[in-house]
Amino acid sequence: MKRLVVTLAAVVVAVAAGAQAQPAAMTDGAKKDVVRHRAIAAAHEAAAKCLESGKAEDVCHKELQVACKGLAIGKYCGMRHEH
């Protein structure tokens, strides 16, 4: 019985500590980065769907370049992989 009470008390303390923990406030720069990363991810998802649809790779890459203009560095929207 004593172990049960101690265990329950430990659980209550752990839950209370977790409930009070607040996430760190994001800076404006971090918020902008989140928006930019989501836009880049959306452009890459569209490129993946383009390739899945059977379109030619160069066509999908051109669409990716248009979608990513001003978002990321490089020809492939900030990401590269081997071909």
Q: Which of 12, 83, 22, 74 is nearest to 43 (CA)?
A: 74
CB 77 within 8 Å of CB 44 = yes
Q: For residue 77, how many other CB atoms are within 10 A of its CB?
A: 21
Q: What is the pTM of this model?
A: 0.64
pLDDT band at 7 (very low <50, low <70, confident <90, very high): very low
Tokens of 22: 């607040």
pLDDT tens-place string over residues 22-80: 567 889 999 999 999 999 999 999 999 999 999 999 999 999 999 988 888 888 887 66
Query: Is residue 46 a contact partner of residue 63, using CB atoms and an 8 Å limit?
Result: yes
Q: Looking at per-residue confidence, does 33 or 3 come out higher?
A: 33
Residue boundaries of the structural domains of the chain: 38-83
